[in-house]
Amino acid sequence: MDMDMEISNLWLVIAIFFITAVLTNIARGRITFDPESTKPLPPVVNCITLIGLLPTILKKGIQATIHNLYTKYGSVFTINFFGSKITFLIGPEVSTHFFQGPESKISQGNFYEFTVPMFGQEVGFGVDTATRSEQRRFHIDALKPSKLRIHVKHMLQEVEEYFAKWGQYGVVDLKYELDKVLMLISGRCLLGKEIREKMIDEFYTLFHEVENGLNLVSILFPYISIPTNRRRDNARIKLKEVLSETVRSRRSFGQFEEDTLQKLIDSKYKDGRSTTEAEVTGLIIALVFVGKHTSSHTSAWTGACLLDNAKCLEAVIEEQKKILAKFGDEIDYNVLLEMSILHGCIKEALRLHPTTPILVRKTHENFTMWTKEGSEYTIPAGHTLVSPTVLNNNIPYIYKDPEVYDPERFGPGREEDKVGGKFSYTSFSGGMHACPGEAYSYMQIKIILSHLLRNFELTLESPFPKIERGKFSLEPQGEVMVSYKRRKLLVPS
């Protein structure tokens, strides 16, 4: 589990901090010094600057605001909120320590406390760092590419059966349809056939109550008794009961299944201890949340981007024709790896619409960094560090025409995501907290979109969606209405 992938709308929290800072906080000068270091601290955004940026915050949002600060102060600057120092690190040149620093020196802190009532006290940020690290290893091991091959046939079956229910033609909300089919895939590949066959609809409803509990108030006050939190808590208790029954049944009868739930049941800590029922249920709920929740938004954005760009759509369809000519209708793990153009289209949609606009850390020791501009700064212990993915993914000296949807930027001869080093592209985070489900996510989205492109003519009927700023993942706003007409993609003679 990597909660980097679900911190997304802390943009909203930062916006509140901005506005509050304008009203109450007085910043002092641009550069200050740490008494234990001869190196200057990063520039501090002063009160006059914050007031001047308030119209930008309200009209254009946080991304434009941070870009303005980046333009004025450079790649590293600090904002002071009531004495709490929030330092922004923009660009790969200043990101190495953020992503690779040891947990003892830079950690995720308590920023993710809100996930504890979602997944339980027994996992993630409800346990100590050492235990959390081992539980992360369980997720990584369960989602290794070598173990994903067995899921392809089950994903294909779910996708084919779901879209077989569509008529010869019609109009659908693509966002809703993708969300439904991704839950079915999660039911079969992550949760197991017992839940998929007997109660996937009930699980879907309960799971949405957990998702819907992720709001601004719940992030700031995760244990306050409000309706959404109570529904979240009740839903998690019921999910735990359902999953615990499956775990007990498998262990009692020595039952073994080829799914991720089984991998977590069989996982062992370094001291030889097996995972408990509560740990398994918490780990699998978290995995479904991270995997299904983010993939739903990513697939919807990719679909919208493709249908809004005739050149890209044609390129993906031509790739599917070539794959059909080479492999026929059969799709396996190796065939999915051949879909490089589709892969680039998904990656580009994630660059423009990352599920996590910002990543957050807490620094526990002073460290020094050099910026791209040639400045050297000391970042003191106690600072909150912010790496704004949504801005890092749009830096012009790395990405040419960054506002343009251009999947070819990742192809041979360009490879813009490598221009600034390995942290030029961090839509799946990076370093020790890189999302373990990246390969799984690409695999299921490729299977869904390739099936749709092979079997339907699709047209985007609604306007290209705006970003839903009020949610905790930057999902497409409203419905994404698409008309479809059934067809069979033919290989050119």
* DSSP type of residue 268: B
pLDDT at 27: 34
pLDDT at 470: 56
Q: Measuring CA to CA, which residue among 349, 330, 367 is closest to residue 450? A: 330
Question: What are the backbone dihedrals phi and psi of residue 363, each rounded to the nearest 5 degrees, phi first?
Answer: -95, 135
In the chain, the amino acid numbered 287 is L
Q: Measuring CA to CA, which residue among 268, 242, 236 is closest to residue 116? A: 236
pLDDT at 14: 52
Whole-angstrom distance, CA of residue 239 vs CA of residue 197: 16
pLDDT at 284: 94
Ranges under pLDDT 50 in the chain: 1, 5-13, 16, 18-33
pLDDT at 431: 86
What number of CA atoms fall less than 13 Å from residue 42's CA on the CB side?
Answer: 32
In the chain, the amino acid numbered 291 is G
Question: What are the backbone dihedrals phi and psi of residue 64, each rounded to the nearest 5 degrees, phi first?
Answer: -65, -35
> Please, what is the angle between helix 174-186 and helix 277-307, to 10°?
150
Residue spans per domain, the chain: 1-112+355-392
174 in Cβ contact with 147 (< 8 Å): no
pLDDT at 8: 43
Structure tokens at 489: 């993609």
